[in-house]
Each structure stands twice: as C-alpha cells, then as structure tokens.
Structure 1
Amino acid sequence: MSTLSQSKPMKKLLIIGTMPMILDMNVDPSSDSEGEEIGDTKEIAQSLACLTFQNAHHVAPQLLYELQVEIFARVPCCEYWKLQFLNHQFSQLLKSSEIFRTRRELGLVKPYVFMLSSGDRRWTMFDEDFKVSQRLPKLSSDINFFSGDKEITCVGTQLIVIGKDVEGITVWRYELAMHTWVKGPAMITPRIMFGSASHGTNAFFAGGFKISKSGAEVVSIVEKYNAETKAWASIHAMHRRRKSCSACFLHGKFHVLGGQNENDENLTCGESYDEETDSWELIPNMLANVSLSLFQAPPRIAVVNDNLYLLETSSNDLLVYNVNTNTWKKLGTVPVRADLTKGWGVAFKSVKDNLMVIGASSTRPHSQKMAIYKCCPSPDMEDIHWEELCCRGVHLNHFVLNCCVMLA
C-alpha cells in the first residue's frame, strides 16, 4: 500500500452526504503525545462509516481505503478495538493489521508495557511514561493457570502468555486490535520455563521444560511463532538443553543465556542463532563472572542500542556486555532490591533508548507499592542517573510476576 507523501501540503475534500469534510493529512506523525494525535475515535469512525462509495462521488475506492487507514493510524492504539462495533468493514480493517503496518511505515510506533503483579489476575497496559494505563479483559482460565509459572512475550500486536492449566501447557494470546483474549494455537512441543524474544512479527522460544505422560524433560528445542500467520515452526535445536534461561536479539541474532541443564547445573555458556544460515554458535563462559545460584530467577537482561545489559541479582549491580572480549563491566547499581528475592519479582526491560527496572524500591524498603525507574545507559558511562516514574491512577504490588514491552 502506498502512503501519502509527507513532503507536500495535502488536504482531501470528501463529500459525506451533502456536507463537505476536509481531512488534513499534514498532521505531524512523529508527535510525542498520543493525545495530540487525531482526536476522538468515535467521532472520526462515525464520519467515515457514513462515507460510502455511493455518496463519496469524488473519491476512488482505493484512495478512500488508504485515507481511512492513514487516519486511524494516528489514533491511539487503545482505541482501535472500538471500531469492530461500528460495522463489518471496520472490523475487517482491524483484523487485516493494515493499520499497524501503516503505523510502522509512518514512524508512529510506540512502546507499551504489559504487566501482571502479585495478587492480580488482570494484566495492565501502560504507555512508556506510565501516565496512561488500561486494564486488559479477564483471561478465562482456571486457578491452576494463574497460580503457576507463566511466560510472556510480546510479538507484533499480540501478548503471548504460556502456562499450565488442568489440560496441560496452554497458550493464550491477547490481541491489541480486538482487545480480547484468544486461546491457541498450541506450540509444536508445549513447554514452560523457556527463553523467548521477539523481532518484528516473529518470536523465538528456546529450551524449557517439557511435560509428558512419560515424565518431565529439559529440552534444547527451539520454535518460531509468526504473529501474522499465527503459526509455529520448528528450527534447529540449540547445542545445550536448558531451562529457566533468558533470550534477546543482539546484533541481529537471537541469543540465549544461562539457565540450568538436565542435571540442574547452572550454565555459564550462551548461544546465538543466525537465521540466515539457520545455525547456532556456542558462546563459552558468557556468564562465567556472573554470580549464579540454583534457585535464582533467569538472567535479567535487556538490549538498548544494540548493547546488552544485565542486572546482577545477587548485588543489584548493572553490568554491560563486551561482545568482543566476552566480558562484563560494572556500571553501577540499580535502585531496586533484586537481591532480596534472587531476582524474582523484578522486571528489567528496554523501552526505546532507556533501561527500565521495576520492583521494590531500595529507598523505601517497607513499601509494598511498585517502584519504576529508568535511565539512558551507555557502555562508557561513569555515573548512572535513574529517574523515578510516577504510575498514575494504578496501584500495583511491587512483586512483578510478568512484564514485557510491545511496539505497536
């Protein structure tokens, strides 16, 4: 689909019934605030819904479709799901993902943080500054699913949640466009305690714990999920079996770090997968100088500007990885107490050019309220400045069960 040029002033005169309507296509698509994007969704949608091919005499069908997509691409993502209730045309537009593809083309993509904290059964979606939030619908699963371990990944405009219920290991996905939960599709080899990371509309899931009638098994299996086709595909297995590992994309390759093998031994090696050659490279001693213990959380890692950072959960230190020397450098400490829980309950994520850490504040040790900090890191920085963000209107427990970031 061709997009409208941003270099020349452009306005289109549409005829809605007998009333002319001027749509200004010169709105700055790089606006920092979604509140400054084209305003009330319902009003825009109702106007467009009245615009049929019969009474829009001066607009070609293809141009009309492109105008609709370009307009809605500037509407806040949290409003999209309302379009499905207007008519079949807008419902199909949402399902096509065309709006989100246009957002990417126009540079309108923004990060959204999805979080589930202790004592809660509904995920909350935040904007990058935690000034705006939205509660997700209830997920219709049993108590076993919520009381057990769950792994989550954001890919495309979907939040993938994988856990164990009475029927076994189950996949749920939240679709941002439709604001709803859908069950499946199931993994080719269902498992939990894997490492996962996404890149565009693809997500990779490596290793984990497979449960079958013959028993439980730590695996080296890797699968790729495509958010557009909603299909799973197997790729070459890793060199090592591993569970409770972490994963990321670094220098264009899928990396898997740490975890434990089939003998519950901590792994200090990492592995990188090159999709072009469909091959894995073992990285010995990648975590050799990082403190490891049996019952600690998977490595807390995040990538900012193609640099890999790690939260050392035994000391609350922030480390940065040197890919050339295969070593880690200490940059300072983080303002949360990851050491109290061996890294469990702490979120450590990248949000655009920032690192974000969420958990129990080190300055307010007795508070049960979630604390959120961010910094703009650099491998050469000597002094880290952490900025605390205020979470408006939502009060969540400081123990974070799940957290991931979606770009939509």
Structure 2
Amino acid sequence: MSCSEYLLEEEAEEESTVSEMRPEGRASDGRLKIGSSDSLIPGLYDDVALTCLAWACRSDYASLSCLNMRFYSLMKSGYLFEWRKQLGIVEHWVYMVCDPRGWEAFDPTRNKWMRLPKIPCDECFNCADKESLAVGNELLVFGRELFEFAIWKYSSICCNWVKCEGMNRPRCLFGSGSLDSIAIVAGGSDKNGNVLKSAELYDSKTGTWKMLPNMHSPRRLCSGFFMDGKFYVIGGMTSPTESLTCGEEYDLNTRKWRKIEDMYPNVSRAAQAPPLVAVVNNQLYAVEHLTNMVRKYDKEKNSWEVLGRLPVRADYSNGWGLAFKACGEELLVVGGQRGPEGEAIVLNSWCPKSGVKNGTLDWKVLGVKEQVGVFVYNCAVSLCFQEHWVGSPL
C-alpha cells in the first residue's frame, strides 16, 4: 500500500471525526489538495510530507502530533515507523531506570531526556527486582507482582503501558536478546526457585509467546544475545554452587541448540551480575568486572582478547548497577559517578571501528543525567529500524 492509499484509507475510517473539524458545508471528494487543511503538511502532497516527517526525530513526535488529527492518527497507527524502516532510517533510544521516579528515555541524537509514564502496576511490582528488554517498538519490563510474575510493555507508538501476555513458563534471572520484532528468553528460575533450561520466543507483532526446544543445560543469571542471525546464551549457574563456562547457540532455522565448550570461561558466582555483553557489527564484547576491562570474542579461536579499560568502575558492586549495551555501531556504558556537583549517571560510548590506541579506548560522553544516584537498575536500547531476520521463528 502506498503512502497516499494508506492516508486515504485512514481518512475514510475517521470521516466522522474529521467532518466535525471541517467548516460547515465543505464537501470532500476523497482526494487531498495542496493547501488542504486536513493534509499532513499544508502545501505538500502527502507522499512528500510523510517522507519529511519520517526523517524527524522520534523525540519530536509528541510535538508534531499537535499539527493536525491526521498526523496524530498516523503516528498512533505505527505506519510511520514502518515507513521509516523502508527508508532505512536508523534511530536509537536508551531506556533506563535509575531512581524511584520511574523509567526515562534518552535520545542520543538530540541529547534529550524524556520521562515515561508510570507503570500502572501494584506496589509489589514497583519494589521487586526487574529485568528489561527492548524488542520492535516495545519495551518489556519483567517483574513480580503479589502472587505471580508479570510483564508490562511500553509502546513507543502509543506512549503507554499495557499488561503483556505472560510466558508459558514464567521466570526471572533469564538470558534474553532481541532481533527486529522478535525476542528470545532462555533459562532463569521459576517462582519456586527451580533452574530452567526451557526457552521461549516473543513476537512483538502479535504479542504472543511460543515455546522453543530446551537448551542442553539449565542455567540462571545468564546473558543472551543475537549474533550472525543466531541466538546465544552464555554464563550463569546451574545450581547455587555450579558455574557454567559453556555457551549455547540456537539456530532459528533448524530449531536446534549447539553447545560451545569454554565460550565464556569466567566463573560466575551467585552474588555477581550476569555477564555484561554486547554485540556490535556481529562481534561480541564483554566486560570483565573484576578488572574493569573490555574484552572481544574471537569466533574462530573461541577465545577472548583484552582491549582496554572501562570509563567507569564495574568492580564496586560485582557488576551490578552498570549497563553495557550496543547502540548502533558503538558500545555504550551507562554507569554512575560522583563529582564536585554531586551524583550523576553518565553515558559513555566507544566505536570499535576507531580501534585501540596504546592500549586505551577513546570513550566519549554521550549524555549525563544529574542527581539520580549512581546505580542503574535496568537499561535497554531500542531501534526504530533494524535488519530484517529471514526465517521462520516457529
């Protein structure tokens, strides 16, 4: 469907609403005219206007939606996001929560902070530990309500929170990763503390969960990610005292798991954070929190190379309170620091393409959030456009 066809269809569906806004006695022939008051941008054909709007930053959508009812409807429908994808427009948002006031979004392009609405959950969910995952145009937040696990999702299209359909095997402390509109969670613990080896796939287009084949080993406190179109799980523990150094690779086409010995040789402990990992341009990087060093994984040799030091310390709290994410072609480290002006959360980025110079990484400050403490409870990075995954997830 072309842009004009879509907009005309939207106009037909909202005829009753739009007619209330038209001057009395005005007739419509179903076609948009230059200068029409119900065009997206007066003076421009809608195809041209839509392309102009697609290049606007997402953080400006709330303001732009005040232009007229048609753009408001267009934004809420999600069509503009699909049009941005077709145009290849890439934009990242960083979602994080650092204090009791709730979630915030950061637009690195505009250096703009935006506070999200509060989650309409019960007090138990507010106080409990949570995990987060960005998939498609959604932010999923996993936690525990009074009697069971719960998932709330924030839509960047509708700008609101709704309760998400629960997993087939509700869990916490799992590994997870997303690719375009799908996400996979694997392992974790159920509400009785049993360590799981099951995995599930979430489709953000339908809002549903589907079971996947089991992993070879149960594990909790693990990390997950997509690389080269496949999903991986590394690290974690299979019991309170037994750490796992093997990784597992899931092929979405063959629906099979492959065990990779010694993929993550660092020993995990119950008190430390899951592996801090990120994938940039299909290359895997990790933080060794005991030494505050960034390492790179060699897929051919199944080994790790030390690159350089983090811009903040990760050893203070055994890796907790620090976020290590991929943000486009850069690695993003989100952590707290104390200075003369008080506490702040600082977002630092480094582009692996810039290389390592004399054993150091050229970290640049991407943004600063003042007076929010020094602990990052949750963090996720979303894309407006992402490479399509080809295959059948089910």
TM-score (norm 2): 0.82
Gaps of 5+ in 1: 5-45
Change (3 A) 1:84 1:388: closer
For the pair 1:372 / 2:347, whether they are aligned, the reply is yes
Measure how far apart 1:3 and its partner are.
6.9
* 3-state secondary structure, aligned to 1:404: strand
In structure 1, how many angstroms separate the alpha carbons of the residues matched to 2:210 and 2:299? 29
**Residues 32-51 of structure 1 correspond to what in structure 2 (within 5 A)?**
none
For the pair 1:278 / 2:255, whether they are aligned, the reply is yes
Measure how far apart 1:142 and its partner are.
2.3
- Asked if structure 2 preserves the Cα contact closer than 8 Å seen for 1:307 and 1:379, the reply is no
* 3-state secondary structure, aligned to 1:369: strand
Change (3 A) 1:339 1:291: farther
For the pair 1:209 / 2:189, whether they are aligned, the reply is yes
Residue identity matched to 2:223: S
Match of 1:109 in 2: 90
In structure 2, how many angstroms separate the alpha carbons of the residues matched to 1:240 and 1:207? 9
Match of 2:14 in 1: none
Change (3 A) 1:347 1:253: same
**Residues 188-203 of structure 1 correspond to what in structure 2 (within 5 A)?**
188-203=168-183
* 3-state secondary structure, aligned to 1:102: helix
Measure how far apart 1:149 and its partner are.
1.4
Pairing partner for 1:161 from 112, 121, 141? 141
* 3-state secondary structure, aligned to 2:344: coil
Residue identity matched to 1:107: G
- Asked if structure 1 preserves the Cα contact closer than 8 Å seen for 2:125 and 2:144, the reply is yes
- Asked if structure 1 preserves the Cα contact closer than 8 Å seen for 2:108 and 2:367, the reply is no
In structure 1, how many angstroms separate the alpha carbons of the residues matched to 2:59 and 2:183? 23
Match of 2:101 in 1: 121
What number of residue pairs does the alignment pair up?
357
For the pair 1:398 / 2:374, whether they are aligned, the reply is yes
- Asked if structure 2 preserves the Cα contact closer than 8 Å seen for 1:347 and 1:358, the reply is yes
Match of 1:304 in 2: 280
Match of 1:131 in 2: 111
Residue identity matched to 2:153: R
**Residues 19-38 of structure 1 correspond to what in structure 2 (within 5 A)?**
none
Match of 2:211 in 1: 234
Measure how far apart 1:176 and its partner are.
0.7
Greater Cα shift, 132-141 or 184-193: 184-193
- Asked if structure 2 preserves the Cα contact closer than 8 Å seen for 1:114 and 1:404, the reply is yes
Residue identity matched to 1:359: G
For the pair 1:321 / 2:301, whether they are aligned, the reply is no
Change (3 A) 1:113 1:82: same
For the pair 1:147 / 2:147, whether they are aligned, the reply is no
In structure 1, how many angstroms separate the alpha carbons of the residues matched to 2:126 and 2:230? 32
Change (3 A) 1:228 1:91: farther
Residue identity matched to 1:178: C
In structure 2, how many angstroms separate the alpha carbons of the residues matched to 1:66 and 1:188? 43
**Residues 218-233 of structure 1 correspond to what in structure 2 (within 5 A)?**
218-233=195-210
Change (3 A) 1:198 1:330: same
Cα RMSD over matched residues?
3.1
Residue identity matched to 1:113: V
Match of 1:176 in 2: 156
For the pair 1:251 / 2:237, whether they are aligned, the reply is no
Match of 2:12 in 1: none
Residue identity matched to 1:159: L
Measure how far apart 1:356 and its partner are.
1.2
In structure 1, how many angstroms separate the alpha carbons of the residues matched to 2:164 and 2:382? 19
* 3-state secondary structure, aligned to 2:290: coil
Provide Cα deviations, 1:202-251, integer angstroms capped at 9, x if missing partner: 0111111111xxx3311111111111111111111111111111011111
For the pair 1:357 / 2:326, whether they are aligned, the reply is no
Match of 2:389 in 1: none
- Asked if structure 2 preserves the Cα contact closer than 8 Å seen for 1:196 and 1:206, the reply is yes
Residue identity matched to 1:189: R
Measure how far apart 1:304 and its partner are.
1.0
- Asked if structure 1 preserves the Cα contact closer than 8 Å seen for 2:245 and 2:267, the reply is no
In structure 2, how many angstroms separate the alpha carbons of the residues matched to 1:190 and 1:68? 45
Pairing partner for 1:266 from 243, 259, 264? 243
Match of 1:100 in 2: 81
Provide Cα deviations, 1:330-351, integer angstroms capped at 9, x if missing partner: 0111021110100000010111
Match of 2:167 in 1: 187
* 3-state secondary structure, aligned to 1:339: coil
Change (3 A) 1:83 1:234: farther
Residue identity matched to 1:121: R
TM-score (norm 1): 0.79
- Asked if structure 1 preserves the Cα contact closer than 8 Å seen for 2:236 and 2:268, the reply is no
In structure 2, how many angstroms separate the alpha carbons of the residues matched to 1:366 and 1:267? 42
Provide Cα deviations, 1:71-100, integer angstroms capped at 9, x if missing partner: 442333234457888988656544542211
Match of 1:389 in 2: 366
- Asked if structure 1 preserves the Cα contact closer than 8 Å seen for 2:128 and 2:144, the reply is yes
Provide Cα deviations, 1:257-309, integer angstroms capped at 9, x if missing partner: 11111454211111111101111111111122x25333100000001111100
Residue identity matched to 1:103: R
